Structures are given as structure tokens and as C-alpha cells.
Amino acid sequence: MRQSQIADLWWKNAVVYCLDIETYADGNGDGIGDFRGAIQHIDHIERLGVTCIWLMPFFPTPDRDDGYDIVDFYSVDSRLGTLGDFVEFMQVARDRGIRVIADLVVNHTSDQHPWFKDARSSPDSTYRDWYIWSDKPEPDDPKGVVFPDQEHSLWQWDDEAGQYFFHRFYRFQPDLNTSNPEVRDEIVRILGFWMQLGLSGFRVDAVPFLVEDVTPKDGDLPDPHEFFEALRAFMNRRDGSAILLGEVNLPYKDLLRFFGSDGLGNEITMCFDFIGMQRSYLSLVRHDARPLADALRERPDPPKDCHWATFLRNHDELTLDKLTDKEREEVFEAFAPDEGMRLYGRGIRRRLPTMLGGDTRRIKMAYSLLFAQPGTPVLFYGEEIGMGENLDIEGRAAVRTPMQWTPNLNGGFSTASPDKVRTPMPKGDYGPEKVNVSSQRRDPDSLLHWMTSLIEQYRECPELAWGDYEVLDVEDEAVLAHRADLDGETVVTAHNFADRDATVTVTLKGCDSSRVLTDIIVEGTLQLTDDGEATIKLSPYGCRWFRVSTPETAPAEADGAT
């Protein structure tokens, strides 16, 4: 693989880091995070090795759904800064070689958006057909309600309009009518605007909902996939390397369509692997690698110029909707034993370290796996230091507490008096006194150092992100071993899900005793037999990454970092 190709397809071995400006760092001391604060901490993001920042919504909003209810797609919420601050943030990121993408939330607007206010005011409004109206509510599919504890219908009566309007999410978030060409034109304008200001792409919220057929007159709807094709085509005319990162939580066979029909790969560039993520948790609970190994074997290859995005946690609840009822119950019992830790009967509102009982070995192994498995890893801010959640905060927001920078006032997030900080940090073992960036920077055994070194190795092993991969057969069900190959170079990894030692023998086809396996994460060199067999020893919850090479071209062994 030529370096120039790797640069063009930068997203295939990117490290994406999702952050919310509102909770990352407060630069003006008013208790609310802002762009100035984030600018001051961009060196932390650079040191970690992140290559792409994903910004959660920062647009003007009444903030009834954490910024996902937008009233102006062309500006910055005044609490978070100005458009000028945004441009400065982009400049500082670019200076560090870091790309930036942002949430594109165009499934719906806030009901306070001027478009909706105008639309509801009269049937003759220019904006009336920008939303979805009906004289009588269409029959609801109960599975279609996203927040079943708070909404019972997809249709809301509007007195002013004298009609029902459609809302997939909350009733204050009317869905935009994406079958209207004017709406589609406007969405393209929104993309163009932010790309002009330097964005390298967008994370597309709620993809399947964005293009669903809901109107009574669905006969005249264009193919929903044309919508994404048009978006991708527009975006790549402006910038050939820009991406769409899609939230598409569907079974693999249905999801493939969103990469583009007929395997063309001309729609969503990267889709999150929700199934692999959920199986990872099942594997962690069972101390058994097979659920994840099966998912990796079943997972179809995305079309050329498309890719999987992998993750362990994100800003939402940990959804377990693709597991069977019994499997989900197993994960609930182990990782969310109290009812208050669960959400909507399908997810968990906790972060990874608390679910794993703070067991550092297990946490480090889980992240090693995230970077080793094929796909582009996406981190949620705070994962790099093992932040916990605050269950006193309602709903999904439990995992959206402010970033913990220091052990001091407000965890270094803000200089405001603590009562001004809207979202309280966790207390106790996961409070900023115990978990923060500045202490971990000084501790070579910290999670922060571990993550930094994993990212460094991942970036040096394009085989992992780009290559062909094969889950290797091993005797021990607790161990996941896989190889990744690219241009004649091979990397092998092994992960032990059990709290005991494990030894596995792997056979590497096409390799013989002229090759050695050099551990690039911990230490040790293994010799292959004539048949390409290697015996790998793993400590409890251990993980190892090896580069396969001749002894003459082997890299230096790691110096025993843990």
C-alpha cells in the first residue's frame, strides 16, 4: 500500500474521538463547556494520537434533547461560543493535523425552528411541506417509538396547524420531509456550508429513520437511497476525501444497503458495527471469545471505499437490542444489576470501566481488542482515562458528564463555582480526584498511557485497519486470535477473555520457520515451526499483538510496557 493511497483514504485507519463541546472544557468560566475551552485542550487530543474529532451538535438549540433539537443549522449556540470560535477551533485542529467531522442532525428540527413555526402557522406556508402532516394519525408501529418511556405515538396533534405532525423522536422534534426536493436542497446547503468552514465529513444521526416512508402518499416517494447517493456525490465533488459516518443499527444484511446498492459503495462511507459491539459485551460477560469471533466471521465485507467503524461505548445508552432476550438478560445481570442502570429495557447507561468492575486488566484488554479488530475505532471522550458515569443524572445523560482534567475544582473542567456546572461529575472511585488526565499523564501504568501506546501501534499497523482478516481457529474458547494481511505483511493478535492463563497454538498459512513473531505491545519473540505454527501464551485477560517477519527485518521488542 502506497503512503499516498493511505493518505487519500485517511478514514480507513483513523482514530475518531467524539466529544461534546458543552461538557469538554469551559474556557470562559461560566460553567458551560465552549469552543475556547476545547481549543485549550487540543494538545491532549493530539498526544493521544487521535486523527479525527467528531463534534456532537453545537448548533443553536432550546436544548431539550442535548442539542439534537436544532433551531438554526448555520450557526453556533451562543453558550458554546461564536462562529469565529468555531473557525479558530478548526484552524488549531488543522495545525495539529487533526480532521474534524460533526453531527448532521437532519432527521428533524426543534419545534422552535423558524421553518416549523412558519409551517404550522398556515397550510399555505412555504415550509408546510417541509414537515410531515396528516389529518388523522396513521396507525403506530409500537416498535417504532424511539423513547417508549416518554412517547407513545409517532404523531402529535398541533392546535395551530390543525393537523397531526410526524415525529420519530420526541414530540418537540418534528421530522423533516426528506422526500421534498426543497428539503434535500437545504440539507445539501448545510453540508456545503460546514465543509467550506473546514469539516471533513459528517456523522449522520438516525440513518434508517432519515429516509423512511411514513407519509400517507408514499407512492410518490423517490428511492430513499438516492438521497444518500446524492449527498455523498455532492460531498465528494467538494472534497474527495470527505466522509459520511452513519448510525445504522440494523442486521448486517439490511445494513449493507446503506453503503450503496449493488455493492457500489456510493452512499454511507462508514457504518458503526453495532452487532460486533454487542457481541463483544456478550463475550466479556461469558469469558468466552466465541460470540465476538462469530460476529467477525459473519460480518460481510463492506464495498470498496467503505469501512466499518468499531466502538465499545458512545454517547447513548449501550444498546443491546441485537442480542436475544436471554443474552441481553445475561449482560444486564452482570453489567447492570440494578434497574436504575438500565434504559428502555434494551440498554445500559453506564461506561465500560464501571461495568467491568474497575478491573484494569480487563479494561485494557477490551481496548486492545477495539484497536486490533478490523475497522476504524471510535472513542467517546473520557474513555482514554476510564471515566465512569453518574447515575444520579437522568437517562442517557448519565455518561455525558464533564471531562475530568485535574483532581481539583470541578475536575479542571471549569473555574465557575460548582453550582454553575450543570452536569455533576461522579463522586467516589470515579470522581475527578481518582480519575483525571493530569494524574494519568504522570503514571506510566495508567490507562491513558496504555491507550496512547495502543493507538501508536494501531497507526503503525495498517494491516489491522485495512487488511484482509481471518479469525484463527484456536483450542481455547476464551481466546480470540486473528491475523490481518496487507501487501505481504502480517500482524497477528490474541486476546484472552478469561481470568486465567491461556495457551493457544495458531497456524499461519503461508508462513514457515523462516519467520518470527515479535510482540509489539508487551514483550517476547516467538519462533514459527516449519508448518507455520506458533504457541502463544496469554496471562489472565491478557492481550498480545505480533508482527510477523524474518528475524533480520523484525522490529525491536517492546520494553515490557504493561
Member of 34, 103, 205, 288 binding Mg ion (CB under 5 A): 34
Q: Which three cell numbers stand for residue 321?
A: 437490542
What DSSP element (H or E) covers 310? strand 307-310
Catalytic residue among 158, 205, 212, 463: 205
How many Å apart are CA 7 and CA 475, to the nearest integer?
Answer: 39
Min dist. Cβ of residue 410 to Mg ion (A): 12
Min dist. Cβ of residue 401 to Mg ion (A): 16
How many Å apart are CA 229 and CA 270, to the nearest integer?
Answer: 14
Min dist. Cβ of residue 36 to Mg ion (A): 7
Closer to Mg ion at the Cβ: 3 or 78?
Answer: 78
Closer to Mg ion at the Cβ: 82 or 125?
Answer: 82
2-23 b/e (C-beta count within 10 Å ≥ 16 → b): eeeeeeebebbbbbbbbbbbbb
Min dist. Cβ of residue 290 to Mg ion (A): 48
Active site residue 205: yes
Q: Is 77 one of the binding residues for Mg ion (CB under 5 A)?
A: no
- Contact segment (CB under 5 A) with Mg ion among 19-27, 208-216, 318-326, 519-527 equals 19-27
Q: Which three cell numbers stand for residue 236?
A: 465528494
Closer to Mg ion at the Cβ: 38 or 100?
Answer: 38
Min dist. Cβ of residue 79 to Mg ion (A): 7
Member of 1, 6, 28, 72 binding Mg ion (CB under 5 A): 28
Closer to Mg ion at the Cβ: 34 or 463?
Answer: 34
DSSP, residue by residue, 21-62 = HHHH--SSSSSS--HHHHHHTHHHHHHHT--EEEEPP-S---
Residues 219-238 that bind Mg ion (CB under 5 A): none
- Contact segment (CB under 5 A) with Mg ion among 11-19, 31-39, 49-57, 129-137 equals 31-39
Q: Which is nearest to 353 in space by CA: 429, 404, 408, 301?
A: 429
Q: Which is nearest to 281 in space by CA: 358, 333, 219?
A: 333
Min dist. Cβ of residue 39 to Mg ion (A): 12
CA 290 → CA 301, 377, 527, distances in Å?
19, 21, 27
Q: Is 30 one of the binding residues for Mg ion (CB under 5 A)?
A: yes
- Contact segment (CB under 5 A) with Mg ion among 22-30, 53-61, 287-295, 423-431 equals 22-30
- Contact segment (CB under 5 A) with Mg ion among 21-29, 116-124, 299-307, 442-450 equals 21-29
Count of chain residues binding Mg ion (CB under 5 A): 5
Residue 122, classed as helix, strand or coil, is coil
Residue 226: partners with Cβ closer than 8 Å, 6 or more residues away: none
Min dist. Cβ of residue 414 to Mg ion (A): 7
DSSP, residue by residue, 157-216 = EETTTTEEEE-SS-TTSPBB-TTSHHHHHHHHHHHHHHHHTT--EEEETTHHHHT---ST
Output the 3-class SS for 457-505. Answer: HHHHCHHHHHCEEEECCCCCCCEEEEEEEECCEEEEEEEECCCCCEEEE
User: Are the beta carbons of 56 and 90 closer than 8 angstroms?
Assistant: no
Closer to Mg ion at the Cβ: 32 or 379?
Answer: 32
Catalytic residue among 22, 247, 267, 288: 247
How many Å apart are CA 173 and CA 121, to the nearest integer?
Answer: 17
Closer to Mg ion at the Cβ: 28 or 215?
Answer: 28
- Contact segment (CB under 5 A) with Mg ion among 1-9, 23-31, 121-129, 190-198 equals 23-31
Q: Which is nearest to 308 in space by CA: 361, 244, 376?
A: 376
Strand partners, 131: 176
Residue 280, classed as helix, strand or coil, is helix
Instruction: Work out the burial of residue 195: count CB atoms within 10 Å of its CB; fewer than 13 is exposed, 13-18 middle, 19 or more buried.
Output: middle
Min dist. Cβ of residue 59 to Mg ion (A): 16
The answer for 328, left when phi > 0, alpha when psi is -120 to 50, beta otherwise, is alpha
Min dist. Cβ of residue 35 to Mg ion (A): 9
Min dist. Cβ of residue 92 to Mg ion (A): 17
Residue 66: partners with Cβ closer than 8 Å, 6 or more residues away: 20, 56, 57, 396, 397, 400
Q: Which is nearest to 321 in space by CA: 255, 256, 249?
A: 249
Residues 490-529 that bind Mg ion (CB under 5 A): none
Q: Report which residue's Cβ sits closest to Mg ion.
A: 34
- Contact segment (CB under 5 A) with Mg ion among 27-35, 282-290, 445-453, 483-491 equals 27-35
Residue 350: partners with Cβ closer than 8 Å, 6 or more residues away: 318, 335, 336, 341, 388, 389, 391, 398, 399
Closer to Mg ion at the Cβ: 26 or 66?
Answer: 26
How many Å apart are CA 324 and CA 373, to the nearest integer?
Answer: 23
Closer to Mg ion at the Cβ: 13 or 401?
Answer: 401
Q: Is 26 one of the binding residues for Mg ion (CB under 5 A)?
A: yes
Please report how many Cα atoms fall inside a 13 Å half-sphere around the Cα of residue 54, on the Cβ side: 25
Closer to Mg ion at the Cβ: 24 or 164?
Answer: 24
Closer to Mg ion at the Cβ: 57 or 377?
Answer: 57
Dihedral of CA atoms 481, 330, 349, 11 in degrees, nearest 10, equals 20
Member of 32, 98, 210, 379 binding Mg ion (CB under 5 A): 32
Which residues of the shown chain bind Mg ion in the complex (CB under 5 A)?
26, 28, 30, 32, 34
Which active-site residues does the annotation give? Answer: 205, 247
